[in-house]
Amino acid sequence: VKSIAVLTSGGDSQGMNAAVRAVVRSALYYGLEVYGVQRGYQGLINDDLRQMDLRSVGDIIQRGGTILQTARCKEFMTPEGQERGAQVLRNRGIDGLVVIGGDGSYQGANKLSKLGIKTMGLPGTIDNDIPFTDFTIGFDTAVSIVVDAINKLRDTMTSHERSSVVEVMGRHCGDIALYAGLASGAETILVPEIPFNLDEVSKRMQDNFKHGKRHSIILVAEGAGKGEDVARHITDCCGIEPRVTVLGHIQRGGAPTHNDRVLASQLGDFAVRQLMEGESAKSCGIIRGELVGTDIDKVVNTKKPFNMEMYNLALRLSQ
Ligand code: ATP
């Protein structure tokens, strides 16, 4: 490859900018031309590309969001849309594309590779729901934000002897709730991967209350249920009235942690090197410290395994 492009797609995540910076600077270092595509696949179809130089990615490593902006694009779901996107790249002599995004964005990259464009996927999502990488770009920052919020809630909840239900992101993957729950000492962690019984949760809270515990944190991944519903059930069951906090999009903003910046930098550079080696339709990840490329086909057809050991640890420590 001589010329590549980079885009961000789907929901944004902290560290996407650090990844864009790594792709651009590595490409230039290795002597490639590099283009930034504005607004994901929508911008690709609209030929909204600009050539990037070293300075175009200055002063962004510390910023949340994405300077390339992101979008969801229906047209790109169709074969005609995909062909238009591929044609835009061919017309400009661009033969490689790095896609930073989640599951859906990966599928788009897969389709483009079948049309002769070499593609690489970088896992950019706070949910940590992409398999074949230990962590996705943005996850570490999102967990830090949740832990920080729970620290604040704990102060006020302890003063008032109240319990808190905290709803966090994670539609299919409960990792944000799991890691933040373990790190903040939550009493209960509800995730989509593990069935739960709210009557038992209420009973446990009541028992804890009898044994002198005056406050508790119940962390709910959005895919496991709504915080409001969980709180109502607990109140109906045992009379305890937890306060509900829905953290929402706060979890997707702010400066990326050093872990996310380092991960994004390593993966961005790896993606460029993979393209130069002629690889295509791969997802770039880090597994136990090692950089790995895995077929996107395999990645999108595999469910990320849930870390049962960590879940049990959180339970053991939350008594
Ligand atoms: P998040 O995890 O934040 O939801 P995502 O990348 O999964 O991120 P999607 O909205 O699913 O977000 O996908 C982003 C874009 O990728 C879509 O708007 C669409 O343009 C493209 N896309 C998604 N699925 C496909 C598919 N099956 N084929 C081609 N393109 C797709």
pLDDT tens, residue order, the chain (319 aa): 999 999 999 999 999 999 999 999 999 999 999 999 999 999 999 999 999 999 999 999 999 999 999 999 999 999 999 999 999 999 999 999 999 999 999 999 999 999 999 999 999 999 999 999 999 999 999 999 999 999 999 998 888 878 999 999 999 999 999 999 999 999 999 999 999 999 999 999 888 888 888 789 999 999 999 999 999 999 999 999 999 999 999 999 999 999 999 999 999 999 999 999 999 999 999 999 999 999 999 999 999 999 999 999 999 998 7
Q: How many Cα atoms within 13 Å fall on the side-chain side of residue 301?
A: 6
In the three-class reduction of DSSP (H, G, I as helix; E, B as strand; rest coil), residue 295 is classed as strand
Question: Measured in angstroms, how far is the CA atom of residue 301 from the centroid of ligand 1?
Answer: 14
pLDDT of residue 69: 98
- State whether the beta carbon of 164 lies less than 6 angstroms from ligand 1: no
Nearest CA to ligand 1 atom 13: 104
Which of 7, 8, 9, 46 has most ligand 1 atoms within 8 Å of CB, for mutation? 9
Number of the ligand 1 atom closest to the C-alpha atom of 127: 2
Nearest to residue 291, comparing CAs of 146, 132, 164? 132
- State whether the beta carbon of 77 lies less than 6 angstroms from ligand 1: yes
Give strand pairing partners of 190.
Answer: 220
Question: Measured in angstroms, how far is the CA atom of residue 116 from the centroid of ligand 1?
Answer: 20
pLDDT of residue 25: 98
Number of the ligand 1 atom closest to the C-alpha atom of 71: 18
- State whether the beta carbon of 44 lies less than 6 angstroms from ligand 1: no
In the three-class reduction of DSSP (H, G, I as helix; E, B as strand; rest coil), residue 279 is classed as coil
Residue list, annotated binding site: 11, 21-25, 72-73, 102-105, 125-127, 154, 162, 169-171, 185-187, 213-215, 222, 243, 249-252
Ranges assigned E (strand) in the chain: 3-8, 33-37, 49-51, 96-101, 118-123, 164-168, 188-190, 217-221, 243-246, 282-287, 290-295
- State whether the beta carbon of 101 lies less than 6 angstroms from ligand 1: yes
- State whether the beta carbon of 304 lies less than 6 angstroms from ligand 1: no
Could you give the C-alpha distances from 134 to 128, 131, 233, 265, in angstroms and in order? 8, 8, 35, 15
ipTM of model? 0.93
- Is the pTM for the entire model greater than 0.90? yes
Catalytic annotation, residues: 127
Question: Measured in angstroms, how far is the CA atom of residue 34 from the centroid of ligand 1?
Answer: 23
Question: Measured in angstroms, how far is the CA atom of residue 227 from the centroid of ligand 1?
Answer: 27
